[in-house]
Chains A and B, each alone.
Chain A
């Protein structure tokens, strides 16, 4: 059995959240009661667009919504390392 890895999400200087690698980033943020704008939860509406300042993610669904090079869609990606993000 593969162990569920834990990463850290840095939201700002003082906020670090544990992040389960087997859940989407959005699910992780919600588990910590962080309000993230979302609609489709499937990568096509772009509502959850978030800046990725540091770290790597992998997509479980191909993101169709427009995102800039430094942005990610938390609804359809998982952490691949510790992350530093900036919510809009």
Chain B
């Protein structure tokens, strides 16, 4: 079915499924099939923040004090997060907008993806402060084997869905020849690709950031790199909201509260979806090994970090109706909660003043009063 930017057909958005129904026409939010997405939009907008408002200037001094293994940990994590947000800043838009059928969900996807672009911009803000020229860091993201392996896993399901959708929207259902390959396009296959893609995105939002978050907050526990930590706290808060949305979508499908065919597919592809999650967990644990290959950092080591990933994964898997495959029962890094707590985003555990007052602080930090006792 050809995509249209304004579907002239009268549709009843209250009767449409989330995806693969009619294209959305009127962007209206007075009535919603799934009110949760409207609530998520409101919440996300209320979280609005600008990276430039967070003063990261003190981090430069801290960074020089870090050991080489710690610098490797810090920069590698930023690279990985840059990759994740590069993908998330565009992919929900490109993959899901052409097939979405509810106005509130369409706008949620746009709002979600927009916030990912704020995250991307914040990495530039952080890196610019640390390096006169951050090019080398950015350029390594497409060269570094560890990052590339993750990139292909993350983008694969998106790319699959996007390609199949493009074929469907331009050529319809059937068997199509593309570059000497025959590709079967039908609605069932499209929906399966959507289901797997949503599971992959859910796993990304659920566990893929947490090794990196833990390292950031472990530095902050030592009162190091606190500007960075402040930014990552804001990002973590957003990611929690994104995760809530993918959990809602998966559960609405699985419980038959949206498209009945998606409920069948959820049943049919259950193992594959579970494997997507477990694979993301394994990759995160391997990431921890890579980070600590040159040495640990105070307060964290590979084993405890892996346990933390498993602990988080258990909860995230339970939230979408899976078993909890990992042994770990209690939180191995209880201090993480102080940073993931939404109240503390404004008032940080250690210092970090409220971000909006920090604009221009770099210039005004030294005042006339500081020279009060200064005599020639």
* Additional pairs, 11, CB under 8 Å, beyond known A40-B240, A40-B342: A35-B330, A35-B331, A37-B315, A39-B240, A39-B337, A41-B341, A42-B342, A46-B243, A46-B319, A64-B43, A66-B319
Partner of A66, one of B237, B240, B244, B331: B244
Q: Is A62 on the interface with B (CB-CB < 8 A)?
A: yes
Contacts of A42 in B (CB 8 A): 342-343
A88 touches B342 (CB 8 A): no
Within 8 A of A (CB), among B340-358: 340-343
Tell me whether B342 and A41 are in contact (CB under 8 A).
yes
Residues of A contacting B244 with CB < 8 Å? 44-46, 64-66
**Which of these, A35, A66, A88, contacts B315 with CB under 8 Å?**
A88
Which residues of B have CB within 8 Å of A64?
Answer: 36, 39-40, 43, 241, 244
Contact B315 A47 (CB under 8 A): yes
A66–B342 Cα gap in the complex (Å)?
Answer: 17
Closest 7 CB pairs of A and B: A45-B240, A39-B340, A40-B342, A66-B247, A42-B342, A66-B248, A65-B244
Q: Give the tally of cross-chain contacts (CB within 8 A).
A: 59
What residues of A have a CB within 8 angstroms of the CB of B241 in the complex?
A: 44-45, 64
State the B residues within 8 Å of A (CB). Answer: 36, 39-40, 43, 237, 240-241, 243-244, 247-248, 251, 315, 318-319, 330-331, 337, 340-343
In the assembled complex, A59 has its CB within 8 A of some CB on chain B: no
Q: What residues of B have a CB within 8 angstroms of the CB of A88 in the complex? A: 315, 318
When the two chains form the complex, which single residue of A38, A62, A65 contacts B341, counting CB atoms closer than 8 Å? Answer: A38
Which residues from 1 to 49 on chain A have a C-beta closer than 8 Å to any C-beta of chain B? 35, 37-42, 44-47, 49
Q: Which residues of A contact B343 (CB under 8 A)?
A: 41-42
Query: What's the minimum C-beta distance from B137 to chain A, rounded to whole angstroms?
Result: 29
Residues of A within 8 A of B315 (CB): 37, 47, 49, 88
Q: Which residues of B lie under 8 Å from residue A40 when comparing CB positions?
A: 237, 240, 340-342
The answer to whether A37 and B331 have CB atoms under 8 Å apart is: yes
Q: In the docked arrangement, what's the CA distance between A38 and B339, Å?
A: 11
Q: A residues within 8 Å of B by Cβ? A: 35, 37-42, 44-47, 49, 62, 64-66, 68, 88
Cα distance A49–B321 in the bound complex, in angstroms: 13
- In the complex, A62→B247 CA distance in Å? 17
Question: Which residues on the B side are within 8 Å of A62 (C-beta)?
Answer: 39
Q: Return the chain B residue nearest A45 by Cβ.
A: B240
Q: A35-B331, A44-B43 are in contact. Are A65 and B247 (CB under 8 A)?
A: yes
Residues of A within 8 A of B243 (CB): 45-46
Are A39 and B331 within 8 A (Cβ)? no
- Give the shortest distance, in Å, between B138 (CB) and chain A (any CB): 30
A68 CA to B318 CA, complexed, in Å: 11
Would A46 and B331 count as touching, CB distance under 8 A?
A: no
Q: How far is the CB of A23 from chain B (nearest CB, A)?
A: 15
A62 to B38, CA, bound (A): 13
Residues in A with CB closer than 8 Å to B36 are 64
Name the B residues within 8 Å of A35 (CB-CB): 330-331
Measured in the bound complex, the distance between the Cα atoms of B255 and A66 in whole Å is 12
The chain A residue with its CB closest to the CB of B311 is A37
CA–CA, A79 and B248, complex, Å = 25
CA of A43 to CA of B244 in the docked complex: distance in angstroms? 10
In the complex the two chains form, is A44's CB within 8 Å of B318's CB? no
Min C-beta distance of A8 to chain B, whole Å: 25
CB distance from B39 to the nearest CB of A (A): 6
- A46 contacts which of B39, B237, B247, B330 (Cβ < 8 Å)? B247
A88's nearest neighbour on chain B, judged by CB, is B318
Q: With the chains together, A51 CA to B307 CA distance in Å?
A: 24
- B50 → A minimal CB distance (Å): 21
Cα distance, A67 to B237, chains bound together (Å):
19
Least CB separation from A65: chain B residue: B244
Distance A10 CA – B248 CA, assembled complex (angstroms)? 29
Question: In the assembly, what is the distance between CA of A47 and CA of B337, in Å?
Answer: 10
A38 to B247, Cβ gap below 8 A? no
Residues of chain A within 8 A (CB-CB) of B39 are 62, 64
Residues of B near A41 (CB, < 8 A) are 341-343
A65 to B: closest C-beta gap in Å: 5
24 A-B pairs (CB sep. < 8 Å):
A38-B337, A39-B341, A39-B342, A40-B237, A41-B343, A44-B40, A44-B244, A45-B241, A45-B340, A47-B315, A47-B340, A49-B315, A49-B318, A49-B319, A62-B39, A64-B36, A64-B241, A64-B244, A65-B244, A65-B247, A66-B319, A68-B251, A88-B315, A88-B318
